Structure 1
Amino acid sequence: MEKQIQRAITIVTFFAVILFSLPLLAYTTENVFVVVIDGLRNNEAFEDADHDLIPHIWNDLRPQGTIYTEFYNDYLTTFTTPGHMAIVTGQWHVAPNLANVVSGGIYDVRPEAPTIFEYFRYHTGKPKASCLVVTGKKNNIQLDWSLEPTYGPNYASLLFEGGNDTDTYALLKTKLEAHHSNLVVVNLRDVDEAGHTGDWVTYTGAIKKADELVYQIWTQLIQGDAFYANKTTMIVTSDHGRHDDEYGGFQEHAGMCHGCRHVLFLGIGPDTPAGLEIPERRYLRDIAPTVGEFLGFPTPFARGQIMTGIFSQNPDPKIHVYCRNPRVKIFNGKVFVVWSQNDPTDTGNEHVFLMKKDSADMFFSNPIPVDSQKARWAFFPAVTANKDGLHVVWLDGRALDGIHDTWSVYYRKSPDYGSTWENEQLIATSTFESADPLSMEIVGEPEIISNELGELIITVRYKRGSGQNRRITSFRSADGGRNWVEIMVKQDNFSPIQYSPITMEGPKEASMVWIDLAPTPNKPNYYNWEVFFMRTMNSGTTWKDLNRLTNDAGYSYLPMLAWGGRKLITVWANRDPSGTPWKLCIRPSTNKGWSWGSVLTIPLGDSSAWQPAIVWNSARNEFFMSWTDYASGVPDLRSSTSKNGVNWSMPVTINSQSTNIFRCKPHVTSGDGLLYLVWEEQVPGAGDWVIGTASL
């Protein structure tokens, strides 16, 4: 960019940022094992008064360790792949509506956030054999490395596929003898496989066998080996449970009932109190930062909290604040920013907040709560504004019947642009599983856009029923958000996510892009992420002109749209399967998406670049694009401009103050002659993430 960027910088958080360094306490633990009993319903584990099916875990291991009685997989669908990804990354999986990486084919779906293996190797410099995954299920064959550019395949773990639990144990024993890995994750598959048969005897028999093998892992492979004995911590948990009896019973899972969400947790090792039972509610995503605490490495992209209760020497008990998913909108000379963040007095919650300011003001208002905070989780907010007021939508996990948490899309309007608010409206909700466990339907995160004629809310519905259909649907309001009509956009059998809608030239024109799993070229029965496009020319009454914009063997990821200068531009990040650096790709259209030009790659050198954000800056008659860039070795923000969407200026760094600052996930908007950027920000070594903003 030839001209210097003029910027006013604001860093926003609801609570004070408190920095901390790597663990200061000296733990005896030098190795950590995480053993996952796949699909064990807690009814047959800790909730069983007799504990007949887990005698070793309950009678032999529990008295030596600590258990959490309120431990949950608490995010949308409860499947094996997203459950394990939450365990190893400390984040809920980015594609929650995806069942498993193996489901009618191989789906190339890696975690977006770094795994504990990558963190460990990055910070210790240890070789690949120091980290080991042995999985009985193919559903976990992509746990070895993530998409995050700082880490990736250069810091992968060893990964081996076993079979039934007996074979997996034997394979684990062989690999431990060969490598003596420091960080080990084991998946025992048979309980889940047996549960799906619907045969109670087979299911309970598999639980007893898993209980025996967990005991052998502890007594023989850990305590029976001088390398591991008395300096290894073992965590035992499950990736998901199974339906409660009133919702179809133990044969199936993936729903929202207590039985699907509630799982066991046991920690045992030299630094863990003996015989302790903790009723505090905790989550799968808390395991990753807890492992990091034991082994002395940070987990900066994790969003869980350290499970302080399983440490005899309690680490820093601070609950870290995570501000995330910021969105920004400009209207009538005002700037509005929404985001979600957790409460530092509770180990598990998230809520939506707004801040606003006049464009000429230096500082934003104090954070304003948007959701009623009746839910444990309220996140993925989106915001727009028009003549009717300010409009915010979000994904909400409140219990609609007063008993069972569910997932819903809520909408709230402020006719005076953030000072007063109308009541929340329930736009779409999930269908809770019934006696037919395949009847459920779960909604995903929403987007919202508006024009002079009304608003459109876009969301995904995931249906577990026939064909496991996923649908993108829109909700149209023509009366300022009072009433809404649902309209189908697209339906298929895969997993549409990351959808990004915009308005175009006319008052009725809108378009959207998203990624979906699609057949990979030259790889039969193999699917990867590709970019798709649709448009509406009548304010969302109908959607048409489906275009597949990418068709290659790599990841096409995080697509965004911009309209201006009589051009429609799609930008996305691309990475080939080998794990080479991410690059930014662009495809232009001169006829509002009816057809598309060739794919262009923005020259950025050898560093990775992903998470693009793009907008048309009408004040300067140019496209402005920002992205997360790794030229400095850590995630930071860079930008470029283009008059025609084809030729782009040399990238410049935005607000570069220190290479010790992480900045990522930008979102940009323009209006009233202004350009505004927001992002997530963390200083390495700090446990908190805040929202950064810049006027450009």
Structure 2
Amino acid sequence: MKMRLLLFLFAISFIGCENSEQEQNKVENIVLISIDGLRWQEVFKGADSLFTEDKHFWANTEAERRQKLMPFFWNTIAQKGQLYGNRDLGNKANVKNKYWFSYPGRSEALCGYYDPKVNLNEYPNNPNENVLEFIDENESYKGKVVTFASWEALGRVLNRDRNGMLVNLPGEDVQEGSEAQNLLNELQHLIPEYHHDCRPDELTYMMAKAYIQDKHPKVVYLDFGDTDIFAHDGEYGKYLDATNRTDKMISDLWESLQNDPFYKDKTALLVYTDHGRGIDDYGWKHHGDAIPGSDEVWLAALGPGIPNLGEVARDGQIYQDQIAQTAANILGFTFEADHPVGNSIEGVFVTKKD
């Protein structure tokens, strides 16, 4: 009798593992989204009473405030995916680079490597290989890896001159697009100048969405910047508004993907920030190695094969340089480059292709 029970339990275990692997193998596409300088404090606590009296995103508890600010994060990702970086629960996420600002943060996340030479936002073409071009080298992904960015520096961060990937930057048209794409091309030349070397995140998103619907790329990187711009301007209310709008765009994108047979139940989502911000009345506006808290970040994951851990409440530590390998592993690859690459994040279920 005991032997039959053991055999039964083994069979159930085997079926569970097989189903998990089959679910993971469905992941054929991935979307990476970077939200520039969005603090973990707003993600996990919502609006901060130290910086605003605006009641639009206010509620009595942190759980209510964060849900009002970022409903997709807390109604969908927290229910079906994973959220890392709530330091109040002992779950820590940090950058490894010592600079704590944008170009080094994006480079670390996308290359899986902290290069101390990459130390300026004005840094020229990145000499380090990134995970997007690594995936683009695979035959089944060639020409199907694209970036839409609100900040012009992403052309250098991703070194598009070297790899020839589509990296759409502010002011650049998408060629041979749909009617919607052509109209958005025109629109970006008609709107007033937004910010030096930047365009509104909503325009970046709509241009990306039109491209996704028309061309069906397999890997998409979206780089949003409004949160950082309004924080530097000291406009906390606008910073919150930008956070809320970004959450809405991610929600809209996820719904669109799930309504498209090409992407439905075959697409994973990784959302993160490139750096943190300070924690006091001066520091929250800015960031850098002189401002404590600027190295504190967060990560969200959602999609097939990613266990439903919700808000990760256990003590732990992840780093920015783990994002690149995690993205590669979700698609079944191991990212290898001529520089060190951080390990994938333990807890994100992955398998490898032959």
TM over 0.5: yes
How far does residue 214 in structure 1 lie from its aligned partner after superposition? 1.4
Instruction: Write the deviation string for residues 82-117 of structure 1: whole angstroms up to 9, x where unpaired.
Output: 11111111011342431x13xxxxx5x222221112
Q: 1:46 aligns to what?
A: 44
Amino acid at match of 1:305: N
Instruction: Indicate how the Cα distance of structure 1 residues 136 and 169 shifts in structure 2: closer, same or farther if over 3 A, else same.
Output: same
Q: Which of 131, 136, 140 is the aligned partner of 1:121?
A: 136
How far does residue 125 in structure 1 lie from its aligned partner after superposition? 5.6
Task: State the SS of the aligned residue for 2:244.
Answer: helix
Q: How does 1:427-576 map to 2 (within 5 A)?
A: none
Q: Is the contact made by 1:118 and 1:145 (CA closer than 8 Å) also made in structure 2?
A: no
Q: 1:367 aligns to what?
A: none
Q: 1:18 aligns to what?
A: none
Task: State the SS of the aligned residue for 1:212.
Answer: helix
Q: 2:195 aligns to what?
A: none
Q: 2:13 aligns to what?
A: none
Q: Which of 156, 160, 166 is the aligned partner of 1:158?
A: 166
How far does residue 191 in structure 1 lie from its aligned partner after superposition? 0.6
The structure with the largest helix share of the pair is: 2
Q: Which of 305, 313, 332 is the aligned partner of 1:271?
A: 305
Task: State the SS of the aligned residue for 1:56.
Answer: helix
Q: Is the contact made by 2:332 and 2:351 (CA closer than 8 Å) also made in structure 1?
A: no
| TM superposition score normalised by structure 2 | 0.72
Task: State the SS of the aligned residue for 2:138.
Answer: helix
Q: How does 1:605-644 map to 2 (within 5 A)?
A: none
Q: 2:223 aligns to what?
A: 187
* Cα separation, 1, equivalents of 2:44 and 2:96: 18
How far does residue 200 in structure 1 lie from its aligned partner after superposition? 1.6
* Cα separation, 2, equivalents of 1:127 and 1:288: 18
Q: Is the contact made by 1:243 and 1:253 (CA closer than 8 Å) also made in structure 2?
A: yes
Q: How does 1:58-73 map to 2 (within 5 A)?
A: 58-69=74-85, 70-73=92-95
1:86 aligns with 2:123: no
Q: Is the contact made by 2:233 and 2:285 (CA closer than 8 Å) also made in structure 1?
A: yes
Structure number with greater Rg is: 1
How far does residue 258 in structure 1 lie from its aligned partner after superposition? 5.1
1:57 aligns with 2:73: yes
Q: In structure 1, list runs of 5 or more residues that go unmatched.
A: 1-23, 102-106, 147-151, 317-684, 686-696
Q: Is the contact made by 1:119 and 1:298 (CA closer than 8 Å) also made in structure 2?
A: no
Q: How does 1:6-25 map to 2 (within 5 A)?
A: none
* Cα separation, 2, equivalents of 1:47 and 1:32: 28
Q: Is the contact made by 2:97 and 2:104 (CA closer than 8 Å) also made in structure 1?
A: no
Count the aligned residue pairs. 276
Q: Is the contact made by 2:322 and 2:344 (CA closer than 8 Å) also made in structure 1?
A: yes
Q: In structure 2, list runs of 5 or more residues that go unmatched.
A: 1-20, 47-61, 86-91, 171-198
| Higher RCO (CA < 8 A, seq sep 6+) | 2
How far does residue 62 in structure 1 lie from its aligned partner after superposition? 1.7
Across the aligned residues of Structure 1 and Structure 2, the Cα RMSD in angstroms comes to 2.3
Amino acid at match of 2:95: N
| TM superposition score normalised by structure 1 | 0.38
Q: Is the contact made by 1:94 and 1:112 (CA closer than 8 Å) also made in structure 2?
A: no
Task: State the SS of the aligned residue for 1:46.
Answer: helix
How far does residue 273 in structure 1 lie from its aligned partner after superposition? 1.2
* Cα separation, 2, equivalents of 1:28 and 1:132: 21
1:77 aligns with 2:85: no
* Cα separation, 1, equivalents of 2:284 and 2:147: 27
* Cα separation, 1, equivalents of 2:320 and 2:139: 24
Amino acid at match of 1:265: L
Q: Is the contact made by 1:39 and 1:240 (CA closer than 8 Å) also made in structure 2?
A: yes
1:245 aligns with 2:261: no
Q: 2:173 aligns to what?
A: none
Q: 1:307 aligns to what?
A: 345
Instruction: Write the deviation string for residues 296-316 of structure 1: whole angstroms up to 9, x where unpaired.
Output: 3331234211113121xx559
The structure with the largest strand share of the pair is: 1
* Cα separation, 1, equivalents of 2:277 and 2:39: 5
